[in-house]
Amino acid sequence: MNYITIRYPYDRDINIVRNDRYTLEDAFAEFNAGSSHECEEFISARIRSLSVGDLVKLNGVWSRCESVGWSVMSEAEVMEYMTAIESKLIELRTLENDPNLPAWFAINDVVYKVKVAKKGGRFYSKAG
């Protein structure tokens, strides 16, 4: 059996148990509205679909959902990522004067900055 954590940063963790052949793609399907594979835990949580920036811990390994595929993260990287989201969330909630601003806005910003940093700190457009 696999013990899996689906982490919606600064919203909630959902812990599930699945068979040994469970994959990240299974998690993505089970936690996405409209996939026709939604699991009971997703439906009962009444939460948004798993998306870019969300995390899944499977077989003791953290992975972050990307726009295409997954990025494996160490425990230290997960902590750094969560800290960056928390800092950005505090900043945005202060700027917007909205203490209930969803974490998604901070996640989006942090994921974008991670991608830019991985490309050497420069933004690459499709046009070149």
Across 27-44, average pLDDT: 97
Q: How much of the chain exceeds pLDDT 70, in percent?
A: 91
The domain of 28 spans 2-73
d(CA 18, CA 118): 33
Residue type, 110: V
Q: Is residue 123 part of a domain?
A: no
What is the model's pLDDT at position 117? 73
CA 85 to chain centre: 11
Residues 69, 9 within the same domain = yes
Paired tokens of 110: 């942090």
**121: confidence class by pLDDT, cuts 50, 70, 90:** low
The sign of the CA dihedral 91, 94, 96, 99 is positive
Q: Which two tokens stand for residue 123?
A: 């933004």
Residues 89 and 57 in one domain: no
31 & 55 share domain: yes
The answer to whether residues 99 and 47 belong to one domain is no
Average pLDDT over residues 118-123: 57
Task: Please check whether residues 10 and 52 belong to one and the same domain.
Answer: yes
Give the predicted TM-score (pTM) of the model.
0.87
